[in-house]
Structure 1
Amino acid sequence: MLFRQLLDSETGTYTYLIADLVTKEAALVDPVIEQVDRDQKWLKELGLTLKFCLETHIHADHITGTSKLRELTGCEGIVPEHAHVACASRSVQDGEVLRVGEIEIQAIATPGHTDSHMAYLVNGTQVLTGDALLIRGCGRTDFQSGDAGTLYDRVTQHLFTLPDETLVYPGHDYRGNTVSTIGEEKQWNPRFVGRNRAQFIEFMNNLDLPNPKKIAEAVPANERCGRMASMV
């Protein structure tokens, strides 16, 4: 299996390239529109055929590259079930397994940061957690129908129950971290350690964070799979 973690430095967004080196099928998770040329270069140089673009959720901090990549490659654009996106090729349901060659990518519903959110467990050994679980943190819950209690439940009951050695690859990082493990986050993540559900909700409801800089353009564009209003 080929696995690459690719960074958009402006937004601190990680895009993940996953490929079967025998069949040459590939998937991109959370592509960024400004990085489509970079992603295309990776695909061309490695001789890969893009099968899927997967979204962990409808992003508020960057515009997805899915629409452009779908036009360029003919790949499918896949979003979590219940996402408010009419233009996607299809949605993926909790527990569904997508296959890229012999690689299995299992969807794990992790709403709470937004009302529709998926983590993706790759071959049972590494989990792409989007904004549900970050390295020593988690995504905010104060917009896009987020819910702190739901996030606490999904992280503690569905991510923290994975084997401790499972590698954690988040959707973002702003401090230079690249990878963690489920065991580390259970022990050291300050958002969860030492807090019960009620305490977590109270903490999250009082973060008082500014809105992401691109929220006004990113959310509506991502509901159109990355197409700006002027392009529709």
Structure 2
Amino acid sequence: MAFRCFSSLGAGKNTLVFRQLFDCVSSTYTYLLGDATTKKCILIDPVLELARRDFQLIKELNLKLIYAVNTHMHADHITGSGHLKRLSGCKSIISKHSGAEADILVTEGDYIDFGNHKLRVLNTPGHTNGCCTFCFEEHGMAFTGDALLIRGCGRTDFQEGDAATLYNSVHQKIFALPDQTLLYPAHDYNGLTVTTVDEEKRLNPRLTKSLHDFVHIMDNLKLGYPKQIDKALPANKVCGLYNLPEELKDGLS
């Protein structure tokens, strides 16, 4: 289990519990955010096979999971939201533009509250229609899902992807955040954990290009068919637990 720790220097309502968790199979980051005062917490982008790991950590930290949140409807892994609902009684959250079911559907300008903290929802489509970035303004952080990766971005050649839409989402929404904002992606394939708005504005090899050049790059990546998409999408449309392939149900009861 890999995780990055952060605690604010303040006390009471200003104290944050933060863990960055990793799935080595799908290279997915799951983020645990908690309020040390009220003990309420959320998970962003949980992975099905690691839901018990995440829930165990939550119990060890004496926290209570209230929301399992997804930045978008994933195609490379099955979300752990449904299983976490059974383990903890939490509610699931996803964009109302995703086409997926959840207890709470969010869109631009909504807030996800946990104790004394809150995340602001930004719609950042392009990788999928339902991609969201969650801004944690009080701590200068944002969780970008697949819209913006570290020196990269999500692919746009399947599942409603559109390169021009993604380019505009990143430039108009994410790059509009303060330059020092810490950006936490849904994936990284090179062992990196965090970037900043300033870094990506200067160093992202795709998104520093013009819109025309970016679209050309994205249209010519020639990537393979996503290995898990045929299992992941049907499951993720219904919160990630029901209608699972039988081989994935083993060990989840």
TM-score of Structure 1 vs Structure 2, range by shorter chain: over 0.9
Pairing 1:1-150 to 2, within 5 Å after superposition: 1-86=16-101, 88-124=102-138, 125-150=140-165
Higher relative contact order (CA 8 A, sep 6+): 1
Q: Which residue of 1 aligns with 2:232?
A: 218
Give the aligned residue type for 2:243: A
**1:227: Cα distance to partner?**
2.1
Q: In the alignment, is the contact (CA less than 8 A) between 2:141 and 2:181 conserved in 1?
A: yes
Equivalents in 2 of 1:218, 1:227: separation in Å?
Answer: 10
Q: Structure 1 residues 135 and 17 mapped into 2: Cα distance closer, same or farther (>3 Å)?
A: same
Q: Structure 1 residues 230 and 63 mapped into 2: Cα distance closer, same or farther (>3 Å)?
A: closer
Structure 1 vs Structure 2: percent identity of aligned residues? Answer: 47
- Across the aligned residues of Structure 1 and Structure 2, the Cα RMSD in angstroms comes to 1.3
**1:67-93 CA distance string (max 9 Å, x none):** 01011111110011211123x102011
Equivalents in 2 of 1:231, 1:174: separation in Å?
Answer: 26
Which 5+ residue runs of structure 2 have no aligned equivalent? 1-15, 247-253
Alignment of 1:184 onto 2:196: no
TM-score scaled by length of structure 2: 0.88
Moved more, 177-186 or 117-126: 117-126
How many residues were matched structurally? 230
Q: In the alignment, is the contact (CA less than 8 A) between 2:235 and 2:244 conserved in 1?
A: no
Among 208, 219, 223, which residue is 1:205 paired with?
219
Q: In the alignment, is the contact (CA less than 8 A) between 2:122 and 2:134 conserved in 1?
A: yes
Equivalents in 2 of 1:231, 1:210: separation in Å?
Answer: 22
